Amino acid sequence: MRTLDDFRFDWVARCLHWGMAVPLLGMVGWGYYSANLNFYDPMYHRALYWHRSMGVVLFGAFLIRTAWRLGHPPAPLPEVMPAWQRHAAFLTQLGLYLFMFLLPVTGYVTSTSDGRGVDVFGWWELPAWLPPNSGRETWMGTIHGMAAILFCLVVVIHITAALKHHFIHRDGIFRRMW
């Protein structure tokens, strides 16, 4: 007889999931706050500096998470789950991974438009790999902002599905990650 533990994500995957979920959502709010500050606001430079630094750290966490996931595939979903729900779950998770990659990359490309690297919490500088381009900051910044909106949409679908499984179907899907 299989128990819940047979279907659960391992503790590393669970730590990475919750350890990234909260800061990623915080980054969306902090990003909008930083991008809309007035130039004369005392937080103008500092807010974006923290946003960029945290974004680079989250990109590092994303790389670790992806490597872990590839090396440790999760246990299969329970057989009672309809095929369309499995496909939907797969596509939503693929979308989440895509945005965890795209958000830091577009943010990095926006930030390095002036040819300067990204100072990460004063620990080290991530160099600018692309040549400077004054126009890039605007259009890449727009893509970065739009990606954040789409990311939120996928997160809402993901959370709604998780809560539906927990409170309506009561099938233990949510507890796989808890």
The residues binding ligand HEM (CB under 6 A) are: 24, 27-28, 31-32, 35, 48, 51-52, 55-56, 58-59, 103-104, 107-108, 110-111, 118, 141, 144-145, 148
What is the smallest separation between the CB atom of 31 and ligand HEM, expressed in angstroms? Answer: 2
Query: 124 or 178: whose CB is closer to ligand HEM?
Result: 124
Please, what is the angle between helix 44-71 and helix 11-35, to 10°? 160
Q: 76 CB contacts (<8 Å, ≥6 apart)?
A: 7
Closest to ligand HEM by CB, 106 or 176: 106
To ligand HEM, the closest distance from the beta carbon of 8 in angstroms equals 27
Q: What are phi and psi of 119, to 5 degrees?
A: -80, 120
CB 89 within 8 Å of CB 74? no
Cβ closest to ligand HEM, residue 56 vs residue 173: 56
Q: What is the DSSP string of 9-45?
A: PPHHHHHHHHHHHHHHHHHHHHHHHHHT--TTSTTHH
Quick one: 10 or 114, whose CB is closer to ligand HEM?
114
Q: Which of 16/104 has CB closer to ligand HEM?
A: 104
- The minimum distance between CB 108 and ligand HEM, in angstroms, equals 4
Determine contact, residues 34/46, Cβ cutoff 8 Å. Answer: no
User: Tokens for 93?
Assistant: 């998770």
Least CB distance from residue 109 to ligand HEM, whole Å? 8
CB of 32 to ligand HEM, least distance (A): 5
